[in-house]
Structure 1
Amino acid sequence: MTDSRSSRRSPGKRERLAAAAAQVLHEKGVEQTTLADIARAADVPVGNVYYYFKTKNELVEAAIAAHGQGLQAMIEALDALPAPQDRLKALLAGWVGQRELTARYGCPTGSLASELDKRADGLDESIAKVMRQLIDWAECQFEAMGREDSRELAVALVAAYQGISLLTNTLREPELMAVEGRRLERWIDSLA
């Protein structure tokens, strides 16, 4: 009986720690983040972190998984929209809606990908899978629009977002993202 109750509680703490890791890593970066920072953000005693994650890299991996789950949930919501152009524009609207956060910390996935690329522990490959998932989804949208160059368009869309995220963060100008979002909407309309 105790085991079943504890297994019901365990996913909650583990999920809170993973979500907190994603948030704190976004705000502080991998190198500056401590396990205590994550424990505090998750409202979990720091000693309990080791029960769920033996190393900081395991927590980073959990944060990457949280990014992937968030992306999957977003994709499911976008897929409920009637047309591929609507789905792509809603994606843009979501990005633009987070422009203040992006101006402060950068793109959550892109910033983490850039930081992990400098390490030799394989975590860069894990975050690349999340980025590929977004590109693959965008490719399907362009393909549904009848575009034969759907892969190139998907890469261009994600590259434009990553580029404007970097500029928005570097210059601390959220309006840059809004302007680029409007330009990308016009671009999507021109492709139909």
Structure 2
Amino acid sequence: MTKRDSGKRERLVAAAVNLAYRNGFTSTSLADIAKESGVPLGNVYYYFKTRDDIAAAIIDHHRQAFDEFRARMVEVPSAKARLVSFINMTVANAGEVARHGSPSGSLCAELLKSETTGRDAVRPLLADPMGWMAEQFAEMGHGDDAGALALQLQASLQGASLLAQNAGDPDVLTREGARLKMWVNGL
């Protein structure tokens, strides 16, 4: 793939990620992706043969974003600070979350209802961060409870994201984020 081809594919993926987040994956057409990316519709089929290919690219984008976050966290000196950084990352997007929901959570909820599109591939979008959280809780000395604590943190963030979206109020997520940071710091 040439550099020019790579740029088109990146624009298509970015457009697909943004449209699927704003409008939902099932409501996003190939024509929408082409228009948003500035890539001719006929070229979309060169990069993505099926809607499943587009779903896979969106899922891969989200997984790469978490992998990049996890790589940055290696520099953070304590597990507690890493968990707080994860909460801060989520809360930093409270305005968007109040409008469109959790990027990963909304995609998971939508694709898990699908019979074919990305159903199994989407599961790690919430499971991988939870596994990472469990590692942090274990490092903090909560080995026996690490999985349960990770579940509590992920459930609280995803639940607050859904409630913020439902209320159209970013403050819902901001307040829950503050409470979760106090909770983590108190462990």
Superposition TM-score, scaled by structure 2 size: 0.95
RMSD: 1.2
Q: 2:157 aligns with which of 151, 161, 177?
A: 161
Tell me the CA shift for residue 66 of structure 1.
Answer: 0.4
Instruction: Output the amino acid matched with 1:63.
Output: I
Tell me the CA shift for residue 122 of structure 1.
Answer: 5.4
Which whole-Å CA distance do the structure 1 matches of 2:119 and 2:3 have between them? 32
The answer on 1:53 being equivalent to 2:55 is no
Closer, same or farther: CA 122–35 of 1 in aligned 2, 3 Å: closer
Secondary structure of 1:187's aligned partner:
helix
Tell me the CA shift for residue 18 of structure 1.
Answer: 1.6
Tell me the CA shift for residue 9 of structure 1.
Answer: 2.5
Which whole-Å CA distance do the structure 2 matches of 1:72 and 1:168 have between them? 26
**Gap regions ≥5 residues in structure 1:** 1-5
**Contact 1:78 / 1:91 at 8 angstroms: preserved in 2?**
no
Partner of 2:60: 65
The answer on 1:102 being equivalent to 2:84 is no
The answer on 1:37 being equivalent to 2:17 is no
Partner of 1:128: 123
Which whole-Å CA distance do the structure 2 matches of 1:12 and 1:80 have between them? 31
* Offset from partner CA, 1:156-189 (integer Å, 9 cap, x none): 1111111000000011010011100110011101
* Offset from partner CA, 1:76-126 (integer Å, 9 cap, x none): 112211111111111111111100000000001100111111111151211
Secondary structure of 2:113's aligned partner:
coil
> Percent identical across equivalent pairs?
37
Secondary structure of 2:2's aligned partner:
helix
Instruction: Output the amino acid matched with 1:165.
Output: S
Aligned length: 186
Partner of 1:118: 113
Instruction: Output the amino acid matched with 1:88.
Output: L
Secondary structure of 1:116's aligned partner:
helix
**Contact 1:116 / 1:123 at 8 angstroms: preserved in 2?**
yes
Which whole-Å CA distance do the structure 2 matches of 1:122 and 1:136 have between them? 24
Q: 2:81 aligns with which of 70, 74, 86?
A: 86
The answer on 1:186 being equivalent to 2:178 is no
Q: 1:171 aligns with which of 142, 167, 172?
A: 167
Closer, same or farther: CA 63–107 of 1 in aligned 2, 3 Å: same
* 1:13-28 matches, cutoff 5 A: 13-28=8-23
Partner of 1:3: none
Which whole-Å CA distance do the structure 2 matches of 1:23 and 1:88 have between them? 26
**Contact 1:68 / 1:130 at 8 angstroms: preserved in 2?**
yes
Q: Which runs of 4+ in 1 moved over 4 A?
A: none
Secondary structure of 1:80's aligned partner:
coil
